[in-house]
Copies of this chain bind each other. A is one copy, B any other.
């Protein structure tokens, strides 16, 4: 049995959950918020933070992998079914390029827009930082343009088949979409792609999560949005 330490709106945690879900892995979940990591995560090593995957068989939990790259590449290497990377070397490279691009370019949106939304829920009295919201919303618009251009010409973000690039994009956008921050009207081809993603069982499990004290946007979990 495996256990994942994650936080429900962390895009990296969602990436790991989607990957484990696509691979039909049996996993239980433990909450580890970024601002207050679970003690098990902190002791995994200098700089360690969630998502963290451990193996709970045996007497003590053994750390399997920490971070999206280690987790996804590990389950891709050890579980052959439901490939998250294409077989062909050039296609693999393209999927990994867009996975890395997504994580790097969405980090700014996570650190500003998403962090501010979460702050408002967790520390209710706090006045919203409109500068952070504006910075994040502006950055997100630019990324949606790039992603829509990809979705216009390809069935999946990384190419001809579903890959970790799709999971990474869905993980990030779904977290932002919880607060209604994704302007789907501005990205019609990406919207079509996202509807396809939303219907997958792994994604439906992620979309069932609810943050205490904050309902998601009305269309959040709808397949027709």
CB pair A46–B100 under 8 Å, yes or no, is no
Q: Residues of A within 8 Å of B, CB-based: how many?
A: 37
CB pair A67–B97 under 8 Å, yes or no, is yes
Contacts of A48 in B (CB 8 A): 97
How often does this chain occur in the complex, in copies? 2
CA distance A66 to B101 in the complex (A): 10
Give the interface centre of A46, A62, A63, A103 by most chain B CB atoms within 10 Å: A46
CB of A87, distance to nearest CB on chain B (Å):
11
CB pair B90–A64 under 8 Å, yes or no, is yes
CA distance A149 to B99 in the complex (A): 30
Contacts of A97 in B (CB 8 A): 45, 48, 65-67, 69-70
Contacts of A67 in B (CB 8 A): 96-97, 100-101
Q: Which residue of B lies closest to A85 (CB)?
A: B73
CB of A96, distance to nearest CB on chain B (Å):
4
Give residues of chain A (70-121) contacting chain B, Cβ–Cβ below 8 Å: 70-71, 73-74, 77-78, 89-90, 92-94, 96-101, 103-105, 107
Contacts of A73 in B (CB 8 A): 73, 92-93, 96
Is A68's CB within 8 Å of the partner chain B?
A: yes
CA distance A90 to B54 in the complex (A): 11
Contacts of A62 in B (CB 8 A): 90
CB of A12, distance to nearest CB on chain B (Å):
9
CA distance A69 to B165 in the complex (A): 12
CB pair A64–B46 under 8 Å, yes or no, is no
CB of A65, distance to nearest CB on chain B (Å):
4
Query: Can you list 7 A-B pairs with a CB-CB distance of less than 8 A?
Result: A45-B94, A46-B147, A65-B97, A67-B101, A70-B100, A74-B92, A78-B89
